[in-house]
Structure 1
Amino acid sequence: MTRNEFKSLIEKKEPILLDGASGTEFQKLGMPIGVCPEKWVLENADAVTMVQRKYVEAGSNIIYAPTFGANRFKLGDYGLEDKVVEMNLALVQVTQNATKGEALVAGNLSPTGEQIYPLGDRVLEEFIDVYKEQVKALVQGGVDLFVIETMMSLQEARAALIAVKESCDLPVMVSMTYDESGVTLYGTDPLTALITLQNLGADAVGINCSTGPEKMIPIVEKIKPHAKVPIFIKPNAGLPKMIDGTAVYDMKSDTFASYCKELIGVGANIIGGCCGTTPEYIKELKDELAGLKTILPNTKQGSCISSERKTVVIDLDNETRIVGERINPTGKKQLQAELREGSLDEVTRFALEQIEMGATILDVNVGMNGIDEKEMMVRVIQHLSRLVDVPLCIDSSHIDVIEAALRVYPGRALVNSISLEEVKIKELLPIVAKYGAMFVLLPLSDKGLPKNIEEKKEIIQTVLEKAKAFNYQREDIVVDGLVTTVATNALAAKETLEVIRFCKEDLEMPTIVGLSNISFGLPNRSYLNSAFLTMAIASGLTMAIANPSSELLMMAMHSSDVLQNKDPGSMRYIRKSSEQQEEQVALASNQGKEVKNIIFEAVIKGNKDKIIELIKEGLKEGHTPKHIIDTFLIPAINKVGELFDKQIYFLPQLIVSAETMKAGIEFLEPLLKTGDSEEEEKKPVVIMATVEGDIHDIGKNLVVLMLKNYGFNVVDLGKDVSCEAIVEAAIEYNADIIGLSALMTTTMMQMKKVVKAVGMEKLKAKVIIGGAVITESFAEEIGADGYSKDAADAVNLVKRLLNQ
């Protein structure tokens, strides 16, 4: 199937039906816990073909091949990593036998169970290569299209999508899994996923698993206005409940179909079922949707850029956006020195300060002598991607540097910049288009600066025409007004304002200026910059590259937004004024005092590289190891937990802060035994394990890390651990707590088995449970001593159970 053929299917406006659940259906066929699902499928091919055939007969237009975990990383957990090609070819054949050409076969790619650097040890290219190996086998097997599903990490979804796009021309659909709060485990919201993935080349973007269909209706409503590709939905039949010791999805097929009809009504184009659904659900769904027409994707999405966790919509008539300019070594000796040493402390400081002062996008430029710019740019992009939520603007004069940054950036970046220079048009534009980035259009050509305003306009129009060949629309491009200094060109300001008006009124395009250029070479530059900014906003300016720490500049911007009716109710202006008053009061009351503790801040900001150095300084100042832990480290990680609970921090920030805390604790632990007068207390023992049959351990690993940070003696048994092994370890270590994790409904009942065994052995250990599919009611039903929703909550739960 070609991408155009896929698009033609959508344009018929008839709902396209996917199949229903696989895992829960295979379990009904007798698939036992702990086996490799793909190997089991091949050993029971006839039965699986029969189930998939029922989906075809029920009305499914697309059937997923059972290749969900048939990648090298996952198969490696079963010692089958050398069988990737062989197994994928055979698994596709199973589904082709079921469809008999009556439905399309989708090659199914899933999470690998590993984390991408900097959260894990494996780099992005390893993931792309692993997916490419599977993709090529599936293409060889004859799949019609690809589906990348149940993704929790947007970066891993990007890796799989890049692998497909670089291996073949088949259509590819990508779906993420969100929790009940509406974000992924890594903090990605549905709009951010849509913007990132559809611009990277996904032919459809959607949601699967997660919840029941009713919870997905408002999500589709929210993202539909920005969707240039079809939206597909594959919900569960509600949430699992325990009935007679079995996990059961209790939403009936007619209720499920009714909600799915509403999903089509608000914008879904492709729909099916995930956990708990059966061929009967698909049949009911087909009947319910008979005669219904879908809403086609939009032709425009708006001017949107994104990080991994946040989308910024650049609206021509909304607030003016400040792009922080400070992460640039030009003229900054301290930043230059640190970059040469490989330190990112100044980068961190500039990033956090600029966001605090009001920047909504950060420009990143590391061009200087004495470093490998490409390597440093990648490091900085990876560092900032986990440190901050705001989108990044990638700024370099070297094409290879921009390409390397775009490949690892886990969102939709803004690139600064593309001009009419031949090398930019021929070499850079295709690269920027490949990764779906927005770009700044700089009205320059190989002839140099335009001679007049008309030449500027001609260059803008020419670049727009050339960008159309790469499917760029005007909303995907930001025009640079090309500010020059009034010290050498008296008409510089007027000419730039005319370009801004032309783009706003005639082209309806967003604009940007490098604000400080206007005042170069003149005294009291802040006055000129602020005056020019107000004039530019009045002319229609959308964004400015500037230093947000300038109070005069920022207040001029907020004042202009009020006067231009870009700040409803003057709320942003009032908030900024209040913040300044609060800062002045804080400075006055803290004169001569230490405002913030640097060790505490290092944990909050995840400054792992500097934490030991800072702790050494604290020890020199007379703080004891125990005092540093109790007064600085523990309160800091508690604060991180609070931020996580409030969804201000997400998994990436939690991990990096926990790792910083761990580094500090590991350094101090040997000193505790000799440096503190109090006798070291015996640490409570916690056994941690992912239950038998489940090979997902991201959540469990984080709980282990957090518990160790709080001084518990944690014995990590790993993943896919049998009940017998857990009980044996609890006896051997005289455990106080047994922590169990499960991600899948097919394995959650192993927890009940452990609880029962602990009771029969009359162990003192209390059993706590958690995981994506686990609920508090399930914990009560199986007799567990507690349930935690995340790592921070697990620490509090253990403390309560041990009366600490």
Structure 2
Amino acid sequence: MTKNEFKDLIKEHPIYLDGATGSNLLKRGMPAGVCPEKWILEHRDVLIGLQKEFIEAGSNIIYAPTFTANSVKLKEYGLGDDIEWMNKELVAISKEAADGRCLVAADITMTGEQLSPMGTMDFEELIAIYKEQIGYLVSAGVDILAVETMMSLQESRAALIAAKEVCELPVIVTMTFEADGRTLYGTDAKTAAIVLESLGADAVGANCSTGPDKMAEVIRSMAEVTSIPIIAKPNAGLPYLDKDGNTVYDMNSDDFAAGMAMLVETGASILGGCCGTTPEYIEKLCTHTKAMEIKKRKKAEKRYLTSERQAVEFGLNDNFMIVGERINPTGKKKLQEQLRAGNMDMVMEFAEAQEACGAAILDINMGMSGINEKEMMLRALEEVGGVTNLPLAIDSSHVEVLEEALRRYPGRALVNSVSYESAKFESLLPIVKKYGAMFILLPVSDEGLPKNLEEKKEIIHKITKRAVALGMDKKDIVVDGLVATVGADKRAALETLQTIRYCKENGYATVCGLSNISFGLPQRGYINTAFLTMAIQEGLTMAIANPSQELLVCSAFAADLLLNKEEADIRYIELIGGIEEKKKKEEAPGENLSTVKREEKTSGNASIMDVIWEAVLKGNRKKITEYTISALEEGKTPQSILNDALLPAINEVGDLFDKGKYFLPQLISSAEAMKAAIEYLEPLLKEGNGKQEMPAVIIATVEGDIHDIGKNLVALMLKNYGFRVVDLGKDVPKEHIIQAAIEHNASVIALSALMTTTMQEMRKVISHAREQGVKAKVIIGGAVITQDYADEIGADGYSKDAADAVKLTKRILHISE
């Protein structure tokens, strides 16, 4: 199927996907804990029967059962060598069920391995894994590629890039969102939709996690920022166990269908069901919505740039934005020295400081001699992404650096810049399009700088024409006003202002660098500021500048206020308030200027303790051992480092996570940083005052479940708090769990499950523990687990995340903070 044919499917009325596969197969005899793909291949008729029922119910597209048939998952079942045969046979089963009556989509999902820096898998390795599976699926004759149940935007990007590099089939992508509207990795629905559409997805949406009643805001957010079709594939409500111990869902088919009609009104046009939805649900869905008209949507008028976790939107009449220019080694000897030594501390400091001063975007430039620019650019993107959620502008003179950075950047970047110089124009612009970026259009050609405004216009239109031919439009372009030096050319400012005015009148966003305008003149700050306010009056969208220049920033925000831009008054007041607050702190003797101030725990606390505290807060795994050694050399005891720096810091991280200011990547990075310090201190702590050994905790993902991201983090956090953690891994039978609890005299058994099909194993573990006389407390958690479920099966506690698991464990064991 071509992409245009896919678009033609969705014109006036919704089209329909199938319902759940796993939960329906369990009802039809599939045992929990087996490899689903292997079982299906051994029981072809069961799946064919189920899929025929979905087709009879009204499904236009059914998903081939290839959900976990990637090399990583199959190797866990000892089936890695069968990947090609299994994928092709699984598609063949669905094609037999379809019999030409509907389309067959390949089903692709996460591998379960974490990408670097949280895990060990490299981004290119992940793309290769997806390419392998997709290659087999395409050769098997699927019509569509469906990437679903994704929790990581970066992994979704890897799958989408792989699909585009293997074939030209339509690709649809759905992510799964938590109750707070973000994925487990912290991406909100709007950001996900912007990034995936710009990268070339043919439809985006959400699946799993919740029922249709709680999915409306996610669908609405996506519909507001995209023009491609929106997919809604929710569960049949929330799962619970009935009196016979079976997993059931709290939403019947009529309520499900009514909720789906609401999602059509919100903007969804591709509808289906996930966990718990049977053919009856799909039949009711079709009956209830088939006459509904799809909500008409236009391509969003705003422009969007994003990081992995935050989108910045702007229009031609919106508030002026600053692109922070400081992460650039040109003219900065200390930064150059650090980069040559492989040290990124100053880069991160600049990132945080510029955000605090009001920057909306950060420019990243690693161009200097004596380093591998590509390698350092990738490191900078990774490190900066760990300390700020601001979108980034990727700035390099080398096409290969820009290409690699765009490939790995987990958001929608701004490329700085694309000129009409033939040496790189034709090679760079297609790369910008491929990775869905915006770009700064620099009106310079092989002949050099344009001689006048007419030459500028000519270059602008030539670049635009090529961009449009590649599938972009004006909203993907930010034109550089090309500021010259007024000291050398008295008309320099006027000509730049003319360019800005022309661009705004013709639908282009604009940017300029300010420093050139005042070169060679005294008191340059006054000239830069005056010029900037004049440019804002003409419609300047953004400027590349140092946001720590108070006069410049305050004048820019004041200009917006005087031009009566929306909420410019509030923004100006907040800026002034922030500046005054900062000055008060700077004037206060001994005041800690960290972004999040920690409470002083001991009198006369040395600065090295603050450094360790901040290293945990920022997840600085590379330096924390060095800081810990320094603290010991200064005379700090291992116990004081633990109690006065490490534990307060990780508590602060947990609070930030609870408040939605930190997300899974930061939580993992901070926990890993603390782990590094604890590992160094552990022998010294044991030599200390003979403090009583902490209780043992047995932790495992239950039998049949091979997901362990959440479980691993809980284990890491508990270890950091001193508990003796015995991690049994994933897919662990109840007998092994209880035997380990007996052997280690465990005080707590912690169980994890991510799937509704395996959560009932928790009840079996608890029953087996009681049968064996084990008195350990049992706590449970995982994406599908609730407090009600914990109460129902007799668990001693439920935790919603890793930070909460530590608090719960301490509480039920009566361990004081």
What's the TM-score once normalised by structure 2's chain length?
Answer: 0.96
Separation in 2 of the partners of 1:315 and 1:687?
A: 54
Describe the superposition over 1:422-446 as per-residue Cα deviations: whole angstroms up to 9, x where unpaired.
1332100011111010000011111
* 1:96 match: secondary structure: helix
- The one-letter code matched in structure 2 to 1:757 is H
Counterparts of 1:692-707 in structure 2, within 5 Å, are: 692-707=703-718
Counterparts of 1:195-344 in structure 2, within 5 Å, are: 195-244=194-243, 245-300=245-300, 302-344=302-344
CA contact (8 A) 1:129 1:163 kept: yes
CA contact (8 A) 1:241 1:247 kept: yes
Separation in 2 of the partners of 1:74 and 1:147?
A: 18
Q: Which moved more, 1:454-463 or 1:135-144?
A: 454-463
The answer for the alignment partner of 1:725 in structure 2 is 736
The answer for the alignment partner of 1:90 in structure 2 is 89
Q: 2:473 aligned with 1:460, yes or no?
A: no
Deviation at 1:30, TM superposition (A): 1.3
Describe the superposition over 1:263-304 as per-residue Cα deviations: whole angstroms up to 9, x where unpaired.
112211110111111111111111112322212452346310
The answer for the alignment partner of 1:631 in structure 2 is 644
Deviation at 1:567, TM superposition (A): 4.6
Counterparts of 1:3-42 in structure 2, within 5 Å, are: 3-10=3-10, 12-42=11-41
* 2:206 match: secondary structure: strand
Deviation at 1:565, TM superposition (A): 1.5
Deviation at 1:131, TM superposition (A): 0.7
Separation in 2 of the partners of 1:740 and 1:624?
A: 35
The answer for the alignment partner of 2:431 in structure 1 is 431
Describe the superposition over 1:574-594 as per-residue Cα deviations: whole angstroms up to 9, x where unpaired.
111111221122222225889
Q: Which moved more, 1:531-540 or 1:784-793?
A: 531-540
Deviation at 1:458, TM superposition (A): 1.6
Describe the superposition over 1:348-403 as per-residue Cα deviations: whole angstroms up to 9, x where unpaired.
11111111111111100101111111111112112222332111110000000000
- The one-letter code matched in structure 2 to 1:512 is V
Q: Which moved more, 1:594-603 or 1:169-178?
A: 594-603
- The one-letter code matched in structure 2 to 1:711 is G
The answer for the alignment partner of 2:103 in structure 1 is 104
Gaps of 5+ in 2: 598-609
Q: 2:599 aligned with 1:600, yes or no?
A: no
Deviation at 1:420, TM superposition (A): 1.2
- The one-letter code matched in structure 2 to 1:363 is D
The answer for the alignment partner of 1:352 in structure 2 is 352
What percentage of aligned pairs have identical amino acids? 57
Separation in 1 of the partners of 2:431 and 2:626?
A: 41
CA contact (8 A) 1:220 1:266 kept: yes
Counterparts of 1:432-447 in structure 2, within 5 Å, are: 432-447=432-447
Q: 2:613 aligned with 1:614, yes or no?
A: no
- The one-letter code matched in structure 2 to 1:456 is K
Separation in 1 of the partners of 2:805 and 2:263?
A: 36
The answer for the alignment partner of 2:602 in structure 1 is none
* 2:166 match: secondary structure: coil
Deviation at 1:566, TM superposition (A): 2.1
The answer for the alignment partner of 1:390 in structure 2 is 390
Q: 2:485 aligned with 1:485, yes or no?
A: yes
Separation in 1 of the partners of 2:389 and 2:206?
A: 22
The answer for the alignment partner of 1:669 in structure 2 is 682
* 2:420 match: secondary structure: coil
* 2:393 match: secondary structure: strand
Describe the superposition over 1:639-663 as per-residue Cα deviations: whole angstroms up to 9, x where unpaired.
1111100110100111111111111
- The one-letter code matched in structure 1 to 2:213 is E
Q: 2:739 aligned with 1:746, yes or no?
A: no
- The one-letter code matched in structure 2 to 1:647 is G
Describe the superposition over 1:733-783 as per-residue Cα deviations: whole angstroms up to 9, x where unpaired.
100111000000000001111111122222231000000000011001100
CA contact (8 A) 1:689 1:740 kept: yes
- The one-letter code matched in structure 1 to 2:807 is N
CA contact (8 A) 2:755 2:783 kept: yes
Separation in 2 of the partners of 1:251 and 1:593?
A: 52
Change in 2 beyond 3 A, CA 1:586/1:299: closer
Q: 2:657 aligned with 1:658, yes or no?
A: no
Describe the superposition over 1:458-486 as per-residue Cα deviations: whole angstroms up to 9, x where unpaired.
21111111110111111111111111221
CA contact (8 A) 1:367 1:373 kept: yes
* 1:511 match: secondary structure: strand
Describe the superposition over 1:196-237 as per-residue Cα deviations: whole angstroms up to 9, x where unpaired.
001111000010012111112222222213212110110111
Separation in 1 of the partners of 2:518 and 2:616?
A: 40
* 2:706 match: secondary structure: coil
Separation in 1 of the partners of 2:558 and 2:630?
A: 44
Q: 2:773 aligned with 1:774, yes or no?
A: no
CA contact (8 A) 2:198 2:412 kept: yes
CA contact (8 A) 2:700 2:737 kept: yes
Change in 2 beyond 3 A, CA 1:751/1:79: same
Deviation at 1:569, TM superposition (A): 6.6
* 2:443 match: secondary structure: coil
- The one-letter code matched in structure 1 to 2:665 is P
Describe the superposition over 1:618-672 as per-residue Cα deviations: whole angstroms up to 9, x where unpaired.
2222211111111011111111111100110100111111111111111111222
CA contact (8 A) 1:230 1:270 kept: yes
Q: 2:722 aligned with 1:711, yes or no?
A: yes
Separation in 2 of the partners of 1:593 and 1:222?
A: 39
CA contact (8 A) 1:478 1:512 kept: yes
Change in 2 beyond 3 A, CA 1:422/1:48: same
CA contact (8 A) 1:385 1:409 kept: no
CA contact (8 A) 2:13 2:292 kept: yes
* 1:419 match: secondary structure: strand
Separation in 1 of the partners of 2:747 and 2:337?
A: 50
- The one-letter code matched in structure 1 to 2:693 is K
Separation in 1 of the partners of 2:680 and 2:224?
A: 52
Runs of 4+ in structure 1 over 6 Å off: 592-596
* 1:478 match: secondary structure: strand
Separation in 1 of the partners of 2:238 and 2:590?
A: 55
Separation in 2 of the partners of 1:359 and 1:65?
A: 46
Describe the superposition over 1:651-704 as per-residue Cα deviations: whole angstroms up to 9, x where unpaired.
011111111111111111122234x4x223212111110000000000001111
- State the aligned residue count: 800
Counterparts of 1:522-541 in structure 2, within 5 Å, are: 522-541=521-540
Separation in 1 of the partners of 2:278 and 2:287?
A: 15
CA contact (8 A) 1:314 1:510 kept: no
Separation in 1 of the partners of 2:613 and 2:512?
A: 38
Change in 2 beyond 3 A, CA 1:191/1:665: same
The answer for the alignment partner of 1:797 in structure 2 is 808
Separation in 2 of the partners of 1:734 and 1:797?
A: 19
- The one-letter code matched in structure 2 to 1:450 is P
Separation in 2 of the partners of 1:231 and 1:599?
A: 46
* 1:79 match: secondary structure: coil
Gaps of 5+ in 1: none
Describe the superposition over 1:495-520 as per-residue Cα deviations: whole angstroms up to 9, x where unpaired.
1111111111x212211111222222
Change in 2 beyond 3 A, CA 1:463/1:654: same
Separation in 2 of the partners of 1:631 and 1:517?
A: 49
CA contact (8 A) 2:209 2:784 kept: no
Separation in 2 of the partners of 1:564 and 1:645?
A: 39
Change in 2 beyond 3 A, CA 1:443/1:569: closer
Q: Which moved more, 1:600-609 or 1:176-185?
A: 600-609
Q: Which moved more, 1:375-384 or 1:47-56?
A: 375-384
What's the TM-score once normalised by structure 1's chain length?
Answer: 0.98
